[in-house]
C-alpha cells in the first residue's frame, strides 16, 4: 500500500503546480519503496537522484511564478526552497555513507517538510485568493 498519496486537499488550484506536487509524492513513494524493499544500490541511488532533480526543477518553476506581481514573500519562499534542497542533499549523503535509518529519515522529511510545505502553500494561496 502506498504511503505517500496525493490528496485533493493538497491542490493549490493550478494544474501545472498540482501535477508537479503529485509527481514529487510519487517519486518520494518510489524511493521509500526501493529503500524498504532492499533494492539494489543503483535503484535507490537513481530514485534519490530523480527526487532531488524533480525537487530542484519544481522549485525553480514555482519560484518563477512567485516573481509575478501580487505574490508577497517570494524571497522567504525561495530561501525555504534552498533549505529543502540542502536537506535532501544531506539525506543523499547519509545514504551514500551507509546510514541505516535513511528510509525513516526520508519518510519524516517528506511528511514534516515537503507535505507541510505543500499544505502551507495551499493555505497561503487560499488566504490571498490567488493561485501560485
Domains of the chain, each with CATH number or no CATH: 23-128 (1.20.120.50)
pTM for this predicted structure:
0.69
Rounded to 10 deg, the angle between the 41-66 and 74-96 helix axes is: 170
CA distance 30 to 51: 9
Tens of pLDDT along 40-82?
677 777 878 888 888 888 888 877 777 666 566 677 778 888 9
CA distance 53 to 28: 12
Tens of pLDDT along 73-106?
677 778 888 998 899 889 888 888 888 788 788 8
The predicted pLDDT at position 83 comes to: 92
Tens of pLDDT along 17-26?
889 889 888 8
Amino acid at each position: 500500500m502506498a504511503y505517500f498519496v496525493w490528496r485533493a486537499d493538497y491542490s493549490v488550484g493550478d494544474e501545472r503546480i498540482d501535477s508537479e506536487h503529485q509527481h514529487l509524492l510519487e517519486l518520494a513513494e518510489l524511493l521509500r519503496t526501493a529503500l524498504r524493499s532492499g533494492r539494489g544500490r543503483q535503484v535507490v541511488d537513481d530514485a534519490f537522484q530523480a527526487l532531488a532533480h524533480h525537487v530542484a526543477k519544481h522549485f525553480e518553476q514555482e519560484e518563477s511564478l512567485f516573481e509575478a506581481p501580487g505574490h508577497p514573500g517570494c524571497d522567504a519562499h525561495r530561501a525555504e526552497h534552498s533549505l529543502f534542497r540542502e536537506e535532501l542533499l544531506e539525506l543523499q549523503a547519509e545514504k551514500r555513507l551507509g546510514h541505516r535509518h535513511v528510509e525513516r529519515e526520508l519518510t519524516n522529511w517528506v511528511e514534516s517538510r515537503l507535505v507541510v510545505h505543500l499544505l502551507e502553500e495551499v493555505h497561503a494561496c487560499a488566504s490571498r485568493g490567488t493561485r501560485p
